[in-house]
Amino acid sequence: VGDLTEADLKGKKVFVRADLNVPLDDNQKITDDTRIRAAVPTIKFLIEKGAKVILSSHLGRPKGVTPKFSLAPLVPRLSELLGLQVVKAEDSIGPEVEKLVASLPDGGVLLLENVRFYKEEEKNDPEHAKKLASVADLFVNDAFGTAHRAHASTEGVTKFLRPSVAGFLLQKELDYLVGAVSNPKKPFAAIVGGSKVSSKIGVIESLLEKVDYLILGGGMIFTFYKAQGISVGSSLVEEDKLELATSLIAKAKAKGVSLLLPTDVVIADKFAPDANSKIVPASSIPDGWMGLDIGPDSIKTFNDALDTTQTIIWNGPMGVFEFDKFAVGTEAIAKKLAELSGKGVTTIIGGGDSVAAVEKVGVASVMSHISTGGGASLELLEGKELPGVLALDEAVPVPV
Ligand code: 3PG
């Protein structure tokens, strides 16, 4: 955690902001604990150094105090992973929190209630940030997934707590998503998928400055096809992005980037898991049919290109992988990256659906890095600076 040593931490009250925004089912059971596990190394380190850990997070997007967004269901799993009983506060500020902090032993962990139960959190109200900070001596931000939000517990508290440093998770995310991407081992490929080009424009434009290969898949490809005058049947198209697609193709050419679009697609007669399907060349999608996955020739072409690379970043699925029938392309890419990771290629999975895909295939553990951020990793890849990072004393991305 930064350069903090035992001397800095023993007996100190450390306000730790983590992103414990995990999915819960209707019975308040955690369905994916990745973010909790990712937060553990920093918390363990602080425990071992004898700090008093005041742990905070948001969960969901509550409007005011909402019991179903309480952090209480996280306590058992967190306690199990840390090997100690985590104490839970009913609030994130106020007398009860002050009392619990006062009785917290060195190496103890107090979990505050959802910081978003106060509207002042998202408003980044300075008075509120001051109250959050008032119980602590210093700040460790490990909430990468929320680092793109300038909120009281991510940015506001830094005005009152010094030092304010990055935790291990935040630092690792920056090392990969900034360090490895801005200073990659070449050749460098980006694979960008997902249904809409509109949500990936910034990422594509930014990566076009850095990559040797830009591989596109997912629903967004049909906007690129249509922009080139290829008929796409009833596939998803963003009509207002046709010009943009044309300009991105031109930009790739001007930059000498190999832009690879799928050459064949798996088409369906309806948007459903049990749709009839067939594989056709990308230029031959009949009327009434829609493309839902990339085809085998495309997978081969993409894999051949990836075989020549040393760094790969992947964001967004190749097709509708929630439907098994149309998950083949996405799974093939996940397997390819796993294979290349084993051969020393740096493989970075940049948040959201592509993370779900590598987990579904069971190859998450072999990747160089899997981001815990959705919006935050997209913003970083777009080249934006994150307020939660900027506010820290030191969070220098180190190229890996
Ligand atoms: C996320 O899940 O992307 C983060 O926890 C941030 O959540 P938010 O989009 O509600 O700010």
Q: Are 53 and 109 in contact (CB under 8 A)?
A: yes
Q: Is 331 annotated as a binding residue?
A: no
Any domain includes 13: yes
**161 with 178, same domain?**
no
**145 CB within 6 A, ligand 1:** yes
19 Cα: distance to centroid of ligand 1 (angstroms):
8
pLDDT at position 314, please?
96
Reported pTM: 0.90
Domain CATH number, residue 55 = 3.40.50.1260
**205 with 333, same domain?**
yes
**53 with 162, same domain?**
yes
**218 with 270, same domain?**
yes
**236 with 186, same domain?**
yes
Pocket test for ligand 1, best of 17, 20, 21, 153 (most atoms within 8 A of CB): 21
Q: Is 37 annotated as a binding residue?
A: no
**134 with 81, same domain?**
yes
**Domain end: 166, 199, 219, which one?**
166
pLDDT digits (tens, 9 = 90+) for 210-260: 999 999 999 999 999 999 999 999 999 999 999 999 999 999 999 999 999
**Domain end: 138, 166, 194, which one?**
166
**241 with 332, same domain?**
yes
Q: Are 217 and 191 in contact (CB under 8 A)?
A: yes
Any domain includes 298: yes
Phi then psi dihedrals of residue 369, to 5 deg:
-155, 135
Catalytic one among 2, 352, 373, 388?
Answer: 352
CA distance 74 to 69: 11
pLDDT digits (tens, 9 = 90+) for 163-212: 999 999 999 999 999 988 889 999 999 999 998 888 899 999 999 999 99
Residue nearest to atom 9 of ligand 1 (CA): 375
Pocket test for ligand 1, best of 19, 32, 63 (most atoms within 8 A of CB): 19
pLDDT at position 354, please?
87
**150 with 182, same domain?**
no
**159 with 212, same domain?**
no
**388 CB within 6 A, ligand 1:** no
**Where in 70-169 does DSSP place strands (E)?**
87-88, 109-111, 138-141, 164-166
**32 CB within 6 A, ligand 1:** no
Catalytic one among 12, 35, 226, 336?
Answer: 35
Q: ipTM value of the model?
A: 0.98
- Domain encompassing residue 218: 174-381
pLDDT at position 1, please?
66
